[in-house]
Structure 1
């Protein structure tokens, strides 16, 4: 049943008609519930509200798989503008982005040029930029780019996905870079050739990767709504005397709001992933596909406000 639910929401995420309808009519519905707003400026008040509650933030301008140089350059300018506004407004926020939004599918030199401009701004303002991980065909290129940027910049991090067989080796290879890593289960539909097909196997690999990353001394963000994973991380930190300032929890905006606040009150860094932009529909469908429980969390968040 879980596999059927996942496939259903992934199918919906790729429906161009529904995506267009959502962009035209759904921005105001989603703002403040699923996304910060249709642009970063309109998201600032929601981010400040989260900060005032003791929650940190990472923002993401929604959109990926860009196939136009012009759009890739626009995305770059948007990201630089966002970094500058975060600094100007004094927000406790980082930035997340995808390499395909900067032109990965067009030309590698274009991505390097655009990301270099972004990281120059990030270093100037001391704001972390996280390179999100994408699907398997783009995984190696993303890791290679992260390694290249990490040699020059300190304000850059990346993401590893627990459902991929390769991730344990990737984590080992990244050790020498002393990386800031966000650990996630994974949201793309991948074949059994590349990914664990069973949830129980993904969960066990996720725990193994969290332990390996923390023990290796990497600053680790555990991005999960799963209570078992959260409790596992807490116990692991106690067992190995890992201080709270060596890891953080991350959750999606609009989901498990009460739990987010409880974790912050317990003394853990809690970072909320706040996407913004018109392309919110595909993002939302993929989040529902990740874990069936997200469906309940999402609708509670939507109708509570």
Structure 2
């Protein structure tokens, strides 16, 4: 029920638009590392100082106009340039729909090719985020086309809640893979619905890829899974150069610092931009316990609310209605 609620909020256009306007008043900076490139570079440098690498995500997805996709491409190219100029330890994460996958396949392919070419020139890795089930195969298709063209600075994501996750993890074993649980509402015919089943599949594919894959990004805030996989890599003598732990910016900061301090490779997923609301709601849908991790940071005394994201949704609505 709670998961469905957060997914519904993530898809509410009214709340997304209100969040763009009032995000900073609601403390969105606690979960978004800036609204522009200079701000996100500052956040990355602060994380790098603690031995933490970063993957940078320009927020935005499901673009329906070519000019919007072209603008997103130009902004991502600017981020790549900034990573190079600032000499920060960071790479790119992007969503194919943001680059025009819903508009025209060849148009999106050209945009993604240009990004990979630019990143390759600076030896910067690019990760293809995988979205809802309607876009999984088209995203993998476009990835396959780029791999056939010889790009070797690209990897992707496998979502553990899909029944076909094991198939995907084996197909792309020679790529750098980020393993996540999954954050969209999917039917039981294609995706596990119960947390226990999702967690079990997560561990299954993570263990397989750790043993057989090129490089594994263990992307979770779940300390039970983290502790299990820490024991697993130790038992199987898997070198630390073959994996990393990964969490979202603003979530479980103490654990992020502790894992880096323990000598593990650690990467923080660093989103920036104005389109933060849908992204954040899906993170809560993915694991509602995340609400407890950030609610004190997102809602402070200035907002006059400490009762959670549900109140936040209503606050956005109220603030927008007052301006009409």
TM-score, with length taken from structure 2: 0.90
Secondary structure, in 3 states, of the residue corresponding to 2:232? helix
1:97 equivalent to 2:68? Answer no
Change in Cα spacing, 1:12 to 1:217, as seen in structure 2 (3 Å) is closer
Residue 160 of structure 2 corresponds to: 162
Partners of 2:299 and 2:266 in 1: CA distance? 23
* Contact preservation (8 Å) 1:31, 1:38: no
Q: C-alpha offsets along residues 249-268 of structure 1, whole Å, 9 cap, x if unaligned?
A: 00011110000000001110
Residue 191 of structure 1 corresponds to: 187
Given candidates 141, 145, 155, the residue that maps to 1:144 is 141
Tell me how far 1:303 sits from its aligned partner: 5.7
Partners of 2:100 and 2:269 in 1: CA distance? 23
1:259 equivalent to 2:255? Answer yes
Unaligned residue ranges in structure 1 (runs of 5+): none
Residue 173 of structure 1 corresponds to: 171
* Contact preservation (8 Å) 1:27, 1:38: no
1:120 equivalent to 2:117? Answer yes
Q: C-alpha offsets along residues 135-171 of structure 1, whole Å, 9 cap, x if unaligned?
A: 1111111112222222311211100000000111111
Residue 244 of structure 2 corresponds to: 248
Given candidates 283, 292, 295, the residue that maps to 1:296 is 292
Partners of 2:152 and 2:300 in 1: CA distance? 39
Q: Which structure: larger Rg? A: 2
TM-score, with length taken from structure 1: 0.95
Unaligned residue ranges in structure 2 (runs of 5+): 302-324
Given candidates 45, 49, 61, the residue that maps to 1:64 is 61
Change in Cα spacing, 1:44 to 1:112, as seen in structure 2 (3 Å) is same
Partners of 2:87 and 2:300 in 1: CA distance? 29
Partners of 1:259 and 1:267 in 2: CA distance? 13
Tell me how far 1:19 sits from its aligned partner: 1.3
Change in Cα spacing, 1:32 to 1:170, as seen in structure 2 (3 Å) is same
Residue 229 of structure 1 corresponds to: 225
* Contact preservation (8 Å) 2:35, 2:272: yes
Tell me how far 1:174 sits from its aligned partner: 2.0
* Contact preservation (8 Å) 2:28, 2:298: no
Matched positions, count: 300
Partners of 1:262 and 1:209 in 2: CA distance? 25
Given candidates 72, 77, 89, the residue that maps to 1:75 is 72
Partners of 1:107 and 1:187 in 2: CA distance? 25
1:17 equivalent to 2:14? Answer yes
RMSD: 1.4
Tell me how far 1:300 sits from its aligned partner: 3.5
Partners of 2:296 and 2:251 in 1: CA distance? 8
